Each structure stands twice: as structure tokens, then as C-alpha cells.
Amino acid sequence: MARNPHNRIKYEEDDSEQDERRGWRAWLVTLALAAVALGLGFLVPYMLYLNHEVGARFGQLQWQIPTRVYARPLLLAPGLRMDADTLGTELAAAAYREGDGKAPGTYLHDGSRWVIASRGFNDVGGPVPARRVELRLASGRVGDLQEAGAGAPIEQAPLDPARIATLYGQKQEERRLVRIQDVPDLLVTGLQAVEDRDFAHHHGIDVGGMVRAAWVNLRSGAARQGASTLTQQLARSGLLGIGREQTFTRKGKEILYALLIESRYDKGTILEAYLNQVYLGQRGAQAVHGVAAGAEFWFGRDLKNLSTEQIALLVGIVRGPSYYDPRRHPERARARRDFALGEMHETGLIDDAEYQRALAAPLGISQTPGSLSANRFPAYIDLVRRQLAHDYPADALAGAGLTVMSGMSPSAQAYAEAAVTRALKDLDNDKRPPLESGLVVTDVHNGDVIALVGSRDFARPGFNRALEAKRPVGSLIKPFVNLLALAQPGRWSLASWVDDSPVKVALGRGKTWEPGNSDGRSHGTVRLVDALAHSYNQATVRIGMAVAPERIAALVKTLAGIDAQPNPALILGSLDESPYAMAQLYQFLASGGEIQPLHAVRGVLDAQGNALNRYDKAPAPAQEGDAVAARLITIALQQAVSGGTGRRLVADGLGHLAPAGKTGTSNDGRDSWFAGWTGDHLAVIWMGNDQNQATGLYGATGAMRVWSNIFRNLPSATLKVGDTGLDWAWVVGADSTDASCEGARRFAFVAGQAPPYAPCPLPEPAPIEESGQGGWREWFGFGRDRDETSETPSDEAPTP
């Protein structure tokens, strides 16, 4: 067909336009291909980078787990000194709840009857299973102890201990790792029902949900709604370093991470990681991560003991722990919990009856957050850290996921803190400088440090006076001066006569030392026991010079590692030491003569509960000579309490404990000390002013008040001194006699060393023979024959 000539120009124009269009198409295709190539050139390396990040961070599944420090387990046993207040304090510290005594972590209290359902735990000696026990308290003791329900008697039952501190790493994150098989099924399935119903089937993202969320965000002009799967939530949880801000860039990165995670790991691994990583609350600087820590934080319960309504609340607050905080916003929390219960009911996870019951139930939140305190007892934890420093440097301990089992008794710690607060409140006045205090309480049977207070503001870290305040100990040294004398039973006894007249000691270079008694009086010739009980300085100096300051310095070095200058002033306590060092020294006496190192740490367990190190080894039995000498000093210091410088304790109603104790006061009343012990416990207390100003306090008017306040509340056994290695005799003058003789007093002597018997009237005293007793006595040359020593007791002190 011929072309219409009138259309020629038209066709030529069409061909030109077509050529132009083909040029534009080629340019666009080239540009698109270049963009794709450029995009692939960027995306492929970026995806490889993200894939590496997923493998490095998620693949290792390693979190920084805090090291947790626990108190000692309360060991219930028939005959244990215990009262209702103390048992209640111990249970509260360990986060027990009053209830039916059937669920682990609960107890039933009905009059004198207690039913306690303990939780299993790992101790230094191995795992301790959960059990239900029933006991009765009677006359300040544990009476019957038996299996609850079965009635079978029990010899002892350890209760899981209180958590007293947490040693975090770089991040203040509270977390307890769990395996998915240890998580209640309802929590696993309920989480999916509420947060991600299609979790089992999608590949990391929910496309339909994302389209709906994108439409809402486009209409609002901002990113207001999300459609994140559990995998996406995990990606932005902090585990992979993605922020939580609502931006399209962040969302894109989150999607890529989620796709990569799903391509590399199975659903079980992803879900387990989520359960351990999910953020569930905050307490101060501590972030609570993971469902196990969340259960403890919100409910004070183990994960496996949560009820349906508690599981629903835990799942519900995943959406916003701050917004749905059940302690601050209970109405919001309840609405969110009920929504979660509805989802669980709709998906068939709970039936109608359980749904209605759970809806009607309260939130079930514990009054205070679970035992997540970073460091409630800074002074005690200071000691824990110091004792672990040899085996565990600080950076190896914090955040290492270890368990430290300490010797702290929560009730003893509470009573010690309250005692300091009460005493200082009573003593504070405008005429006295600000007072401070430091103290140590120990178990005399094993050396556990069961309480330690470093300042009057005991909840705040700072200068730890129990460990670091080295102050003049004053008369606290006197029992050890007398201990060395009594180690020579042929020459000294509690009945020995000592001159308490003015004394002058030559110091060399023409200098002399003339110490006087604190009351400004001399008391003539007195019995050794009376000189110690009344803390007479002049008599003590004569005894000390007879046994030699060098031996006193050697003794305190042996017993407590104390370095002292061997000069005459040491006899009256010219020695600066801390309460802890003096507690170590007095532990020798309180333990009955055992060399018993004090320890705050019983052992360290790894993350699986296996013992890595133990520090609670039983001390070696006391040497016979050590035990006898310690008994004699204990008897003397019991008299110091019953009728000497510590007699205020009897007036305070503590005579039934028959405690032994010694007061100490430095010059001008700058330092007030008291060391005293019962059948179970030793407490050493210092009180004074940090600037070393005079306080006007004596040992009996300051530190001893704190001791009294502690033992008015702390259940403790009466101090009973055994007769092993001792003979008792009635004495008048220097001879044994009958009890009916006028002025006769009963004294304890080393066995075989009592003076000879003489009926009334008494003849002249006969010489007394010496016998060695072994132990530390021989370390200082006290096991020698009489002719090997030149010192003899006299009314005049020899020249040093």
C-alpha cells in the first residue's frame, strides 16, 4: 500500500520520537542496572557483615551473668537457740512468703508451730534438695523438728540462704539463665499467643502485620505502630546492638537481622535466647533481663512456681515494663494481664474455669522487688572481696556468674545494725563530737564472720571502720598479758597475789614510765583474777613486765598476725588495731583455745553449682595447754561481767548468758572498746570519733552498750566453761581450805596445780611446783623447768 504523502512528515516525526524514546529507555535500563549493581555491591557486603555479627553475638549466646553472694543457710536442728522474731527475720531475708507452707518458698506460722517449705539450692558441700519441715519453738529453742506431714524426726534441715549482694560486670544486668525445657509450658506458649501467634511458621518477619503497620505509619506521618515478631524483638533487645528508636532505618536493619537469625538457628534456640534476654523491669541502675530474673523481681518466686495469672502478667508487661509496672500502675498492669489471659483462653491454653479464676485473682506482686540488691551490706561485702582477692581478682569475680557462699547471718546482721543505731542515738549530744562505730560478730565454733558493721550509715559504702580503723586498743590487750602468766601454772594462777601499788618502769636513757589506774587509786595487794576483772593498770604492768613485753608481742603475732612493738606500753594496749584484728585475737579465747582463722566466705561455686574453692575447713582441735589457759581467762572475764567492769550487762538482763567480756578505753576517752562472747558468739565493738577527739566514753559506757543491744535480741547459748584440765579449790591466803572457812573463795587451777590443803586456821603457804602443758605455751618457753627461767613474781616490777 502506498504511503500517503500528506502523512510523510508525520511518520518521520513518529520515527524520530520512537528513536528518542528508545534512547530514554536504554538510559533508564542502564541506570536501573547500575543502581541494582550498586545496591548489590553495597547490600551483599552489608549482609555478609550483618551475618558475621549474628554469628559472633547471637551464635555464642554468652551473657554477662552477675556473681551472687549469699548468706549462710540457716541450719535448723533440735535444741538450736531460736525465737519467733529471729526465725521470721531469717525467712524474710531469704524472700520466704507467709502462706500454706506447701509451695516452695512459703511458710505457715501458727503459734509456736511453723511449717516451712524450703527451696532446693547448691551449697559448698553439694546440692541440698527442697523439703517441707515442721518445727515448734519452745523456751527460746527449736523443739521438735520433723518432716511435714510424715512426722518423721529430722536431725537437721538447712534452709536456702538469703541473697545479700550481687557483683555485676560492666553492665548492671540482672539475669538468670534458663533452658527452654525448664520454663513452664504455659509461659512459652502464652508468650507466643500474646506476642507472636505465627512464630512457629514465619521466617523472622510477619509481612501482613508489617503492611498494616506501614499503612498506619504512613497515614500518621510518623512511625507509630510496629508489627515485630519475637525474632525481631530479640534482634533489637540489645543482644545485637540495635537501638529501640522508631525509625525506618532501624526497622530495616531489624528485619535483616531477623531474617538472618531465622536462617541460621532453629525456633527452639531463638525462643530460648528471647526468654533469657527479654527486658522485664528496672530497679535503680539494675536492668532485669530474662523471665527467670523477672519472676524473682516481680513475684519473689522461682519461675516454675508461678501461677497462671502471674505468667499472664509477666507475658503482658513484655510490651512495656515501665508503662505496665504493676507496683506503680496496678490498673494498667491488671488490664494488660487480663488481655494476656484472654489471648491464652482464646487459643485454648487455659479452660473456662481457670480463665475465670485467674481473672478474679489479685496481681500477686511481692511488696518489694525480689532479692536483687546490688550491695545491701557494703562493709560485709568489702570483707568478702578482700578474702577472695587472693584467688579471684576483682575483674575475674564481677560478672563471672559465680556463687559466693558467705557466713553472714541475716538476723545477726540486722540486730548488729539496729544495736549501733540505737546506742549512737542514745549517746549523741551537743557536748560530744560525732560518734562512729565498727564491729564484728563471729561464730565461736567455726570462725564464720556472721555480721559486720563499718559505720553508723551502714547501708552506704565508704570508710570501713571494722576493717580499716586502727585505733588504740587499751585494756583489750590485758587478757593476753594474763594468758602468758597463767601459762606458767607453777608460778601464776587466778588466785595469785599481785601488787597494785604505784609502779615505775625504767625505759632507758633516764626515762621512766609511771602508769596509774583509771580511777586514780591504788588497791594494794589483789588477786590476779580481780586485777583483770577490774582492769587495774598497776597490777597488770607488774604481771606484764614479769612475762616480758617481747612475749606479748610474739603472742599477738601468732594468734592474729598483729605486729606490735615489744615495749612496756604494750602491756596496757599501746597498740593501734581494727575491730576485725581484735576479733581474730579474741577468737582464740572464745573458741576455747583453737587457732581459728576468721572467714566471711565459706566457698565459691561455679555456674553449675560445683564447688571451686572451700574456705570453711574445720579448725584443728585446741592443744591441751591452750585450751586450759583459755578456760582460765574465760573464767576471769566472766567475773569481769558478773562483778567487774562489765557488770552493767547483768543489769541489762544478760546474766543468763554468763558472758565473758573485757572493756577497753584509750587515753582521754577517745576510744571505747568491748569484746565479749557467749557459748555461740563473739562480738568486738569499737566506738569513737573519726578525728580522734575525746568522747568522754569508757568501754562500759560506749561500746558495751552496742554489745548489750545485740545480745538482747540475738539467740545465743549460755557460756559454759568445762572442767577438763582444771581443779577447783576453796582458797584463803595462799592455801586450799574448806568452803566453810571465813573469807574462803573458790578458784580454778590447772589440774594438779592447786595449792596444798590446810584446815582452818591456815599455816604458812608451801611452795608450788610447775608443770608444762604444751601448745603455744612451749612456743614462748613456758614448758621449761623452773631453773630455766629467772623471773619470779614480786611486788616490784623488774627493769626491762
Asked whether the predicted pLDDT for residue 708 surpasses 70, the reply is: yes
Q: How many CA atoms lie within 13 A of 110 on its CB side?
A: 9
Q: Lowest mean pLDDT: which of 383-392, 403-412, 588-597?
A: 383-392
Q: Are 209 and 227 in contact (CB under 8 A)?
A: yes
Given 411, 475, 716, 736, the catalytic residue:
475
81-126 pLDDT per residue, tens? 999 999 999 999 998 989 899 999 999 999 999 999 999 999 999 9
- pLDDT band of 793, cuts 50, 70, 90: very low
Phi and psi torsions of 138, nearest 5°: -150, 130
Q: Where are the beta strands (DSSP E) in 307-460?
A: 403-406, 436-443, 449-453
pLDDT attached to residue 640: 97
Nearest to 689 by CA among 657, 716, 666: 666
Distance between CA atoms of residues 479 and 444, nearest Å: 17
User: What is the torsional sign of CA 346, 350, 354, 358?
Assistant: negative
Alpha carbon of 683 to those of 199, 380, 451, 638, 658: distances in Å? Answer: 60, 15, 9, 15, 15
- Residue-wise pLDDT for 634-684, tens only, equals 999 999 999 999 999 999 999 999 999 999 999 878 999 999 999 999 999
Phi-psi sector, 520: left (phi>0), alpha (psi -120 to 50), beta: left
Q: Is the pLDDT reported for residue 47 higher than 90? A: no
- Does a cis peptide bond (omega within 30 degrees of 0) precede residue 433? no
Burial of 195 (0-12, 13-18, 19+ CB in 10 A): buried
Is 263 marked active-site? no
Show Cβ contacts of residue 418 under 8 Å, excluding neighbours closer than 6 positions. 709, 713
Set 134, 195, 296, 309: catalytic member: 195
pLDDT at 235 (0 to 100): 77
Is the separation of the CB atoms in 492 and 745 below 8 Å? no
Report how far residue 515's alpha carbon sits from residue 534's, in angstroms, rounded to the nearest whole number. Answer: 16
Work out the angle at residue 375's Cα, subtended by the Cα atoms of residues 372 and 377, and round it to the nearest 5 degrees: 125
Query: Which of 167 and 488 is assigned the larger pLDDT?
Result: 488
Q: Which 8-state DSSP code applies to residue 663?
A: E
* DSSP H stretches of helix in 591-746: 624-643, 648-651, 703-711
The model's confidence at residue 225, banded by pLDDT at 50, 70 and 90, is very low
Q: Coil, strand or helix: which one is 735?
A: strand
Give the mean pLDDT of the chain: 85
pLDDT band at 800 (very low <50, low <70, confident <90, very high): very low
DSSP 272-329: HHHHHH-EEEEETTEEEESHHHHHHHHHSS-GGG--HHHHHHHHHGGG-TTTT-TTT-
Which residue type is seen at 359? L
Query: pLDDT of 531-580, one tens digit each?
Result: 999 999 999 999 999 999 999 999 999 999 999 999 999 999 999 999 99
Instruction: Give the span between the Cα atoms of 125 and 383, in whole angstroms.
Output: 22
What three-state secondary structure class fits 386? helix
Answer whether residue 608 shows pLDDT above 70: yes
Give pLDDT, residue 212: 64
Q: Let me know how long the chain is.
A: 800
Share of the chain above pLDDT 90, in %: 60
- Which whole-number Å values give the CA distances from 151 to 134, 136, 147, in the listed order? 8, 13, 5
pLDDT tens across 410-421, in order? Answer: 999 999 999 999
Residue with cell 589483789: 526
220 — pLDDT class (breaks 50, 70, 90)? low
Tell me the C-alpha to C-alpha distance, in Å, between residue 514 and each of 167, 250, 542, 568: 53, 83, 11, 11
CB of 98 within 8 A of CB of 108? Answer: yes
pLDDT value at residue 243: 53
Identity of the amino acid at 782:
F
Is residue 742 flagged as an active site residue?
no
Alpha helices (runs of H) in 598-691, residue ranges in sequence order: 624-643, 648-651
> Which amino acid, 546?
A
Indicate whether 55 pLDDT > 70.
Answer: no
